[in-house]
Structure formats: structure tokens, C-alpha cells
């Protein structure tokens, strides 16, 4: 069974240190399904990330968007996994209504990841928005 956002919040609340939370985020990244080899192209790269990040999406018949991603950095893969918990499987309208900054702060990520990683995270959020608009 995949971890949900509520599971992640509950796990974070039980963990004492940020090292433990980083460990969980990295583990989530390790569980990401690999992208197909042909997805690792320039068109799928996310601009604004220090690490290499690729994201793809597929619109389902019911209008929901399934998002997938990968990175060459472990912590970034984990942040992708968190983003997928939030956005993947939602409609473009639902995606547009999510207050990711509040959620990011609620999880404590706002003050516990570097400015570069935070910028990269928001670049991935922007990419999700673009995918939702073009679906």
C-alpha cells in the first residue's frame, strides 16, 4: 500500500528528528516507479532545479492526471514522491485549488530544506501546474 499525505503527516509527527524525516523522504523516493527510458529527454526536464529532474503526466479518461517523476538526487526523488502524493490522480481543477505553500510549511519542509532545494521544489510545482493546464 502506498503512503498517503495523511500517513506522511502522522509519521512526521511521531519522528523526533529531522534526520529521521529526511530518511523517510529518501525512502519514499526509492519507492518511485522508474520512468520509461524514453522519458529522460530534454522536453521532460524541470527547469530551475539544481539536480536533474524529469516529470511526465498522463491524463486518464475521467480527466484525472497521473504524474510521474524521477531525479538523480535522493532527497529530490523523495520530494517528488511527496508532490505525487499531493497532486497525482487529481483533476486539473483540484490541482489548481491546492495550497502547496501551506502544506509545505505544515510538513516543516519550508525551514528544513535548503533555499536551492526549495526553489527546485517550487519549480516542480510549477511544472505540475503546466501539465494540468495542458491536459
Domain ranges, ordered by start, for the chain: 5-133
Fold of 5-133: Sufe protein. Chain: A (3.90.1010)
- 58-115 per-position pLDDT tens digit: 999 999 999 999 999 999 999 999 999 999 999 999 999 999 999 988 898 888 888 8
By annotation, the residues acting in catalysis are: 49
29: closest CA among 61, 76, 67?
76
Cell numbers at 36, concatenated: 520509461
Contacts of 22 (CB under 8 A, 6+ apart): 75, 78
Q: What distance in Å separates the CA atoms of residue 86 and residue 95, rounded to the nearest whole number?
A: 8
pTM of the model: 0.93
Is the pLDDT at 6 greater than 60? The verdict is yes
2: closest CA among 35, 25, 32?
32
51: closest CA among 104, 127, 116?
116
Amino acid at each position: 500500500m502506498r503512503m498517503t499525505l495523511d500517513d506522511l503527516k502522522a509519521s512526521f509527527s511521531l519522528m523526533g528528528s529531522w534526520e529521521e524525516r529526511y530518511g523517510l523522504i529518501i525512502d519514499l523516493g526509492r519507492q518511485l516507479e522508474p520512468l520509461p527510458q524514453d522519458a529522460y529527454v530534454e522536453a521532460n526536464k524541470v527547469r530551475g532545479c539544481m539536480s536533474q529532474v524529469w516529470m511526465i503526466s498522463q491524463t486518464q479518461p475521467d480527466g484525472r492526471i497521473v504524474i510521474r517523476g524521477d531525479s538523480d538526487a535522493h532527497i529530490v526523488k523523495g520530494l517528488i514522491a511527496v508532490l505525487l502524493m499531493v497532486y497525482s490522480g487529481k483533476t486539473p481543477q483540484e490541482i489548481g485549488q491546492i495550497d502547496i505553500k501551506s502544506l509545505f510549511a505544515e510538513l516543516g519542509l519550508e525551514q528544513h530544506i535548503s533555499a536551492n532545494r526549495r526553489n527546485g521544489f517550487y519549480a516542480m510545482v510549477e511544472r505540475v501546474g503546466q501539465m494540468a493546464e495542458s491536459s
